[in-house]
Amino acid sequence: MAFDSSPTLVSLAATHDVATVAVLADLSQLPVRDAVADLAVACLSLQDVDDLPGAVREAARVLVPGGRLCLAIVHPLNSAGRFAGDAPDSAFVLTGSYLDEYRYSDEVERDGLAMTFHSMHRPLEAYARALEDAGLLIETIREPAWPDAHHLTRGTGWDRVPMFCFVRAVRPR
């Protein structure tokens, strides 16, 4: 089962041939019973929710003891700074406070389609505290490097700075 707060995305999900059912819901108030899932996945969504602690608390609530939450977020370093120039060895400069929470937007154009992504910058500690406060234990954190052959990052500097952060947490038995 998948949850999204966007009616458009939920209706589009229904048009695909997949076994997953998409439900319109707020991640901080999931319409399911306690302890019904052995896995919850939040893929590039928690940096977009207003109520991070509530969303993580809900994920923990629906997990069975021993169940896991796997999440991927835009790495907070990514949203706190920019490269000083276009050269592959340009310095990465913090343009704001890494430690403060704030809203930001990214403008992206791909194949002639312009998109705007609205997100929240939060330091890594905010995610760790949300997991801790929900009673989840962090099993692993990864800051993967992009492969050298990746056509989007090769020679851009992003092969030196993490773009994403992956976390796996468990609900204790």
Predicted confidence (pLDDT) per residue in 117-166, tens digit? 899 999 999 999 999 999 999 999 999 876 654 555 556 777 788 889 99
Pairing of strands 92-94, 81-83: antiparallel
The structure's pTM equals: 0.86
Predicted confidence (pLDDT) per residue in 29-57, tens digit? 888 999 999 999 999 999 999 999 999 99
pLDDT at residue 146 in the model: 67
Strand, coil or helix: what is 87?
coil
pLDDT at residue 104 in the model: 92
Read out DSSP for 103-152?
EEEEEEEETTEEEEEEEEE--HHHHHHHHHHTT-EEEEEE-PPPPTT-TT
pLDDT exceeds 60 at position 100: yes
Domains annotated for the chain, with CATH where assigned, are 23-170 (3.40.50.150)
Stronger pLDDT, 22 or 151, i.e. the higher one = 22
